[in-house]
Structure 1
Amino acid sequence: MTQGRGSGGRARGRAPKPSGRTPKRAASPRRSVSPDPAPAPLAPGVLRLGAVPGATPGRWIDRWNERMPRIALELVPLEADDARRALDERRVDAAIVRRPIDETGLHVIPLYDEVPVVVVSVDSELTVVDELTPDDLAGSVVLVPRDDVLGPLDLPGTVAPSFEPLETTADAIATAATGVGVVVVPMSLARLHHRRDVTYRPLAGGPLSPVAFAWLRDRDGDDVQALVGIIRGRTANSSR
């Protein structure tokens, strides 16, 4: 006996055929990603930054003062040959140094390489060109002070002075101003010891003076890392 059909035309008691399509799942709500929280402010204190002659950390100090008002940044002048000792003796927490330096037990970040210049009297005939080469210095007396940072210079044909080495770069430049010899220094030192009676010219092919930021591995605190972040250009909310 044939079963009756309902008004919908579908056989009574039969399950509906599957459509073959997977039902869509309800979309899960999007989760908002919160930005990393800003680091907690450090406790009040002092960070001592050593700096060798010619270093110019002014822009880093300005950013430090803006971001880290609770910690004073004290700038401590250092002679180049005293920088490592100052770190070891904890006279400074970090320092801008000149390489080469004994890097045992240090973190060191290269900053930049300074070009060498020749400091001469304003009346010197060497001023007629915009850039000098080692050959241009043949016959010149080269003054090398005791605090020299470039090391032995390969300048064939130059003449050693007939007197004892001068104590400081400032002394050597003052002597060059009289016309007695020339001085080869990184450009920042020529600017630091500028006088009206001297000028300088870049020395093509001369030795570069690498400048770096250094601190002891066992003095790697949050305050030092905050300064590292500023030097590396991190924003205030950047993670380490």
Structure 2
Amino acid sequence: MTGSEAPPTFRLAYVPGTTPGKWVRIWNERLPEVPLTLLSVTAAEAPDVLREGRADAGVLRLPVDREVFSAIPLYTEATVVVVPKDHLITVADEVTTADLADDVVFHPLDDVLEWERLPGRPAVERPATTADAVELVAAGVGVLVVPQSLARLHHRRDLTYRPVVDAPQSSVALSWPEDATTDLVEEFIGIVRGRTVNSTRGRSQPRPEQQRRDENPARRKPTPGKSAGGKNPRGRSGGSPKAGAPRTGAKRGKPRRRS
């Protein structure tokens, strides 16, 4: 590397509710010479951040434009309704959208759920963010339906949540521009997919101990019946007996009579 070249880095964007910390720790253990920088972005701006090259990859919410981005689905979240702790529906373990018919249900501008039809009664105005909607729920104005991770992210002691079994769900994926699949992106894909340190992009590699044994003939296991060096257990080299040596068990003829 010349003095004008910048050292390699890896930039990972992530949206609210996702937790890339485990992968970051593994990255730092395996590639300590390549710093990983985290970039927090909203779900709406994540595609533009990747498209413009401000991040190498991102943990974001589907869908994405598959003509531009590659994506590896990671998991699908349960959807919950956030309500005050004294709300009537807290007596149930789970609810349906029909159970919210009499409630004002907030639909913030940064909502990540794709609704065909919004449940409940609409609010007079749409809150700008999920965080703003949570504040309104705490004030007793209405309720909010979100992925469970966002309910946890904006947790308050005076609020709780219940699963909504028939609501749309949000899926999380690792995504990156298809024409920018670099070696570092491949490394992060391997970490996310759980490949071990001895694996390279999915190809099985010999373990260090096995590799050392294969490279060192002295450490190879001897062939059954022979010891290292090709000798048999009694210390004699394998092969036919030497010429003139008596054979074990051979019959001896009668001695010739002397004339």
TM category, shorter: 0.7 to 0.9
Number of aligned pairs? 196
Q: Structure 2 CA distance, aligned partners of 1:44 and 1:60?
A: 21
**Residue of structure 2 equivalent to 1:230:** 191
TM-score by length of 2: 0.73
Q: Deviations over 1:162-208 (max 9, x none)?
A: x2111000000110111111100000000111111211111112111
- Cα RMSD for the two superposed structures: 1.4
Q: Compute the displacement of 1:117 (Å).
A: 0.3
Q: 2:168 aligns with which of 180, 185, 207?
A: 207
1:142-161 matched pairs, under 5 angstroms: 142-152=105-115, 154=117, 158-161=120-123
Between the aligned residues of both structures, percent identity stands at 51
Q: Deviations over 1:219-238 (max 9, x none)?
A: 11111100000000101121
Q: Deviations over 1:20-51 (max 9, x none)?
A: xxxxxxxxxxxxxxxxxxxxxxx942100000
Q: Structure 1 CA distance, aligned partners of 2:66 and 2:141?
A: 37
1:101-120 matched pairs, under 5 angstroms: 101-120=64-83
Q: Structure 1 CA distance, aligned partners of 2:100 and 2:125?
A: 21
Q: Compute the displacement of 1:155 (Å).
A: 5.1
TM-score by length of 1: 0.79
**Residue of structure 1 equivalent to 2:135:** 174
1:127-142 matched pairs, under 5 angstroms: 127-142=90-105
Q: Compute the displacement of 1:218 (Å).
A: 2.0
Q: Structure 2 CA distance, aligned partners of 1:192 and 1:134?
A: 22
Code of the residue aligned with 2:89 in structure 1: it is L
Q: Compute the displacement of 1:101 (Å).
A: 2.1
Instruction: Flag structure 1 segments of 5+ consecutive residues without an equivalent.
Output: 1-42
Report if aligned partners of 2:115, 2:168 keep a CA contact under 8 Å in 1.
Answer: no
1:1-240 matched pairs, under 5 angstroms: 44-152=7-115, 154=117, 158-161=120-123, 163-240=124-201
SS at match of 1:139: coil
Report if aligned partners of 1:124, 1:179 keep a CA contact under 8 Å in 2.
Answer: no
Code of the residue aligned with 2:179 in structure 1: it is D
**Residue of structure 1 equivalent to 2:214:** none
Code of the residue aligned with 2:159 in structure 1: it is V
Q: Structure 2 CA distance, aligned partners of 1:154 and 1:217?
A: 33
Report if aligned partners of 1:132, 1:203 keep a CA contact under 8 Å in 2.
Answer: yes
Q: Compute the displacement of 1:78 (Å).
A: 0.7
Q: Structure 2 CA distance, aligned partners of 1:153 and 1:190?
A: 22
SS at match of 1:80: coil
Instruction: Flag structure 2 segments of 5+ consecutive residues without an equivalent.
Output: 1-5, 202-259
Q: Compute the displacement of 1:122 (Å).
A: 1.4
Q: Deviations over 1:126-173 (max 9, x none)?
A: 1111111122112111100000000225355x2111x21110000001
Report if aligned partners of 1:61, 1:73 keep a CA contact under 8 Å in 2.
Answer: yes
Report if aligned partners of 2:106, 2:143 keep a CA contact under 8 Å in 1.
Answer: yes
Q: Tell which has more relative contact order, 1 or 2 (C-alpha 8 A, sep 6+).
A: 1
SS at match of 2:195: coil
**Residue of structure 1 equivalent to 2:212:** none
